[in-house]
Chain A
Amino acid sequence: MIGKVKRTFVYWTGLLILFTLSGCYPDESLNVPVNEDQIAVETDLDLYINEKFVSEYGMAIRYRFSDNFVSPGQSVTPTRIESVRPMLDFIEEFWIDPYKDIENGEEFFRNHVPAEIIFLGGVIFDVNGNLLLGLAEAGAKITFTDVNSVDVTDTVWRARQLNTVYHEFAHTVHQRYKLPNAFETIAAEGYTGPGSWFVLSDDDALQRGFVSPYSTSSPNEDFAECVSFFLFDPNFEATFMDIEAGCLTEDCVSRNEGRLRIAEKIATIKDHYKKVTGVDLESLRAAVQSRL
């Protein structure tokens, strides 16, 4: 009796895929800058962008759609014009201004700012229907997805955008100054790879000493994720550093071991930042958190 029910279940579970989404970062993608000559319209919004971002920081804001912004096979929609200004205000308040608030912060920001910021209206889907929440672009430029949902009071949306921008910006540090000495040895056994990190859960990653599954994909991504989570996540200490008391299970013990590795990484990263950029990450974190 039960056997038939179970056999039917095995067949039926395949159909669940119809309702399943997966979220991940893709591999680093091919991107070609949009041709400036093709941007003909100059609106008040363009003038604002020119004054506040292009002239001020040398940072172009691409909000008009070009399919070169994503890889072949990926699909995404453009921004609503009405969403662009709120998004500009968001990145100014939550990304640029915190650097201005701290010692050496503004100088660091101006010296490391990427040449291009790209706004995409929706989230990206690949050819298999997988949902991509962000693009890994190694700091050369920063692409914001889901700009049409801009709402700074939406904590999930806000966290995703801050994760994107602080992650990508952190890449500039290891690109110019290399990773902290022996950083990759702190949780050396825990790395997976670009093609397999997504099989891990958040808890799996923590037990290995990582702040997210994606951070296990390489030491560079680990570095960027550590910086990003440390800056934007209000619960960083509670989740990733505070030791659980009275552990009775192997998982709990592993989580605590993972937390010790993360604490070591954060200490190393903070020293590295201070030494090579003059930026105190604790001060920067306080500046970011004060705005949340």
Chain B
Amino acid sequence: MMKKWTIVAVFSILLISCSVDDSAKLPSVEERSSRAINDLKDELTAPQNGWVLSYRPTNQTGVFFILLDFNEDGTVRIQSDVVASNGEFIDQVNSYRIDSSQGLELIIESYGVFHYLFELEQNSFGAEFEFIFIEKEANNLVFRSKSDQGFDVTILTFEEAGSTAGNSITVEALGFLEQGIFHKENLGNTGSMGHFNFHIPANNHTISITLDLDRRVIKFLGIAEGLDMTSIVAANSISNLNSEIRFSLSNERIVLDQAQQIDFGGTSYQINEIPIGNFSTSQESFCTGQQETIVNLSGGGDLGSFNAQSSLFQVRNRFQPAPDDVFGVNYFFIYDESDNSINTQIEAVFPDVVAFQWYYNFEIDTDSILNAVGFVTVDEFNNADFYLRGFDVVQNGNNLQMTFNGKDLITDDSPTPAQLTGLDQLTDLIFSGGEVYMLEILNQGGLFEFYNPCNKYKGFVL
């Protein structure tokens, strides 16, 4: 028994003495913090070719390819495959800082690609530019987002780059894909949507896709028999696909996170990647007298031999008759050929206007259907009035041929002549030429862009 107590006493003395000694030798908090910062800086600046980051800001996005080469002087060269803003993020030098706050924090402190992504969708895109260091794992440096709270916290793994890592960055082809967007500005913060039709002549098939170039998501809308709008409409053999897949870009290819399987007309396609290296531009007319610049691609691989064009026409999307619902939008989000809102023209006719609306096969009652577009006003007493202009419509794919038919619906008991004339003038302007294409916008819950190819007016409906 005595022996046991002796052992315990000896251990106690040893523990106490170790504790006292450690405390005396422990560097100050400032010293330890400074050392930790310097250690991380040494790690960041060590690799000769920098670090590769396959950056996925959220689980809803694809991957952005980013190369980071840190320098001792507090600058970091960042190369990326983000071609926005006239290419300023393709190759840029930013300043960085390492702080010791919630652990070690790496902060990219001047505006660059991370901040561009962070700012998308009114700072709600889910990107980050402040990273908390977690650990060194094998030869990788692992960080987590500081700004992500709660769930879906982004983990960023810096992998040491090889000498040819920069060659993998796909920027030229991506720049061409961006020309598949039919307006220049980021209207309504809806992002950058490229609309393409892939034609496979050997099988007489066309596949319509939309590329969300900001989120790196591809949507397969539909597949049809035929190689152009006329033959597709005539054959009327169309299958809805309606699947979204995240992607990355590598070596001039769109690489899907998982394969898209399509079985149609006795043919099976398993699409893992799409080559985009062979591209050009040309002029195409979607309305007599008007030209649009379109992107042409060609290649092979999983689709077989294909040619593709950016196009307003889609074989299929979700814009369909809505017997119990109405499409609409704040009237600000209707734009002219130069992407300027025509809100002031609308306000001039309807000072109390609040919305633009679109009724498509809306069932007013069991034997009465409403097809109409127009405006809603709300006066100071919260009374709403509707000024809707009726039309007949024929839809092929996403193309709507519209003819105003005089079956207007106006709830104002005594509309002024100026309002009646103004309604006709505004709708004649927006729908000049009598046709629009409805383009599906991804990730926005049933949001469509309507585009008039005859005068390049456009707008959104939800």
Task: Using CB atoms and an 8 Å cutoff, list the residues of chain A in contact with chain B.
Answer: 1-2, 4-6, 8-9, 12-13, 15-16, 18-21, 38-41, 64-67, 75-81, 83, 121-122, 125, 129, 131, 148
Tell me if B95 counts as interface (CB < 8 A to partner A): yes
Q: Are B107 and A2 in contact (CB under 8 A)?
A: no
Tell me if B262 counts as interface (CB < 8 A to partner A): no
Given contacts A1-B364, A19-B333, A75-B147, contact A64 B462 (CB under 8 A): no
Q: Are B384 and A9 in contact (CB under 8 A)?
A: yes
| Chain B residue contacts of A9, Cβ below 8 A | 326, 355, 357, 376, 384, 386
Q: Are B329 and A77 in contact (CB under 8 A)?
A: no
| Chain A residue contacts of B365, Cβ below 8 A | 1, 4
Q: Give the distance to chain B from A118, nearest Cβ to Cβ, in Å.
A: 13
| Chain A residue contacts of B362, Cβ below 8 A | 5, 8
Given contacts A9-B376, A64-B110, contact A77 B129 (CB under 8 A): yes
In the assembled complex, the Cα of A20 lies from the Cα of B357 at a distance in Å of 16
| Chain B residue contacts of A66, Cβ below 8 A | 107, 109
What are 17 A-B pairs with beta-carbon distances under 8 A?
A4-B365, A5-B370, A5-B386, A8-B325, A8-B326, A16-B330, A19-B332, A19-B333, A19-B462, A39-B97, A64-B109, A66-B109, A75-B118, A75-B123, A78-B111, A121-B115, A125-B123
Q: Give the distance to chain A from B278, nearest Cβ to Cβ, in Å.
A: 35
In the assembled complex, the Cα of A1 lies from the Cα of B108 at a distance in Å of 58
| Chain B residue contacts of A38, Cβ below 8 A | 97, 99
State which of B95, B357, B462 has its C-beta within 8 Å of the C-beta of A81.
Answer: B95
| Chain A residue contacts of B409, Cβ below 8 A | 2, 5
Tell me if B178 counts as interface (CB < 8 A to partner A): no
In the assembled complex, the Cα of A15 lies from the Cα of B354 at a distance in Å of 13
Q: Give the distance to chain B from A38, nearest Cβ to Cβ, in Å.
A: 6
In the assembled complex, the Cα of A237 lies from the Cα of B146 at a distance in Å of 48
| Chain A residue contacts of B268, Cβ below 8 A | none
Given contacts A19-B332, A122-B119, contact A80 B124 (CB under 8 A): no
In the assembled complex, the Cα of A21 lies from the Cα of B376 at a distance in Å of 20
State which of B123, B326, B328 has its C-beta within 8 Å of the C-beta of A76.
Answer: B123
Q: Give the distance to chain A from B459, nearest Cβ to Cβ, in Å.
A: 11
In the assembled complex, the Cα of A38 lies from the Cα of B96 at a distance in Å of 11
| Chain A residue contacts of B357, Cβ below 8 A | 9, 12
| Chain B residue contacts of A1, Cβ below 8 A | 364-365, 368
In the assembled complex, the Cα of A65 lies from the Cα of B106 at a distance in Å of 12
Q: Are A129 and B124 in contact (CB under 8 A)?
A: yes
| Chain A residue contacts of B73, Cβ below 8 A | 41
Q: Are B326 and A79 in contact (CB under 8 A)?
A: no
In the assembled complex, the Cα of A2 lies from the Cα of B108 at a distance in Å of 56
Q: Which of B45-78 contact A (CB under 8 A)?
A: 73-75
In the assembled complex, the Cα of A5 lies from the Cα of B390 at a distance in Å of 14
Residue of A nearest to B96 (CB): A41
Closest 9 CB pairs of A and B: A41-B74, A77-B115, A80-B111, A75-B123, A125-B123, A65-B109, A64-B109, A1-B364, A19-B330
Number of A-B contacts (CB under 8 A): 113
Residue of A nearest to B326 (CB): A8
In the assembled complex, the Cα of A20 lies from the Cα of B175 at a distance in Å of 30
| Chain B residue contacts of A64, Cβ below 8 A | 95, 97, 109-110
**Interface code B138-149, partner A: CB below 8 Å = 1, 0 otherwise?**
000000001100
State which of B188, B325, B354 has its C-beta within 8 Å of the C-beta of A13.
Answer: B354
Q: Give the distance to chain B from A201, nearest Cβ to Cβ, in Å.
A: 12
Tell me if B122 counts as interface (CB < 8 A to partner A): yes
Q: Are A12 and B364 in contact (CB under 8 A)?
A: no
Given contacts A78-B111, A125-B124, contact A41 B95 (CB under 8 A): yes
| Chain B residue contacts of A65, Cβ below 8 A | 107, 109-110, 129
Q: Are B75 and A148 in contact (CB under 8 A)?
A: no
Tell me if B411 counts as interface (CB < 8 A to partner A): yes
In the assembled complex, the Cα of A9 lies from the Cα of B324 at a distance in Å of 11
Tell me if B130 counts as interface (CB < 8 A to partner A): yes
In the assembled complex, the Cα of A227 lies from the Cα of B342 at a distance in Å of 35
Residue of B nearest to A64 (CB): B109
Q: Give the distance to chain A from B102, nearest Cβ to Cβ, in Å.
A: 11
**Interface code B435-462, partner A: CB below 8 Å = 1, 0 otherwise?**
0000000001000000000000000101
Q: Are B328 and A12 in contact (CB under 8 A)?
A: yes
| Chain A residue contacts of B188, Cβ below 8 A | 19
In the assembled complex, the Cα of A66 lies from the Cα of B329 at a distance in Å of 38
Q: Are A18 and B110 in contact (CB under 8 A)?
A: no
In the assembled complex, the Cα of A1 lies from the Cα of B370 at a distance in Å of 10
Residue of B nearest to A73 (CB): B149
| Chain B residue contacts of A39, Cβ below 8 A | 97
Q: Are A40 and B97 in contact (CB under 8 A)?
A: yes
State which of A6, A18, A40, A77 has its C-beta within 8 Å of the C-beta of B462.
Answer: A18
**Interface code B111-123, partner A: CB below 8 Å = 1, 0 otherwise?**
1000100110011
| Chain B residue contacts of A77, Cβ below 8 A | 111, 115, 118-119, 123, 129
In the assembled complex, the Cα of A131 lies from the Cα of B328 at a distance in Å of 24
In the assembled complex, the Cα of A80 lies from the Cα of B462 at a distance in Å of 35
Residue of B nearest to A80 (CB): B111
Q: Give the distance to chain B from A83, nearest Cβ to Cβ, in Å.
A: 8
Q: Are A78 and B462 in contact (CB under 8 A)?
A: no
Q: Are B75 and A41 in contact (CB under 8 A)?
A: yes
Q: Are A81 and B384 in contact (CB under 8 A)?
A: no
Given contacts A19-B330, A77-B129, contact A125 B122 (CB under 8 A): yes
Q: Are A78 and B110 in contact (CB under 8 A)?
A: yes
In the assembled complex, the Cα of A19 lies from the Cα of B460 at a distance in Å of 10
| Chain B residue contacts of A40, Cβ below 8 A | 74, 97
| Chain B residue contacts of A67, Cβ below 8 A | 130, 146
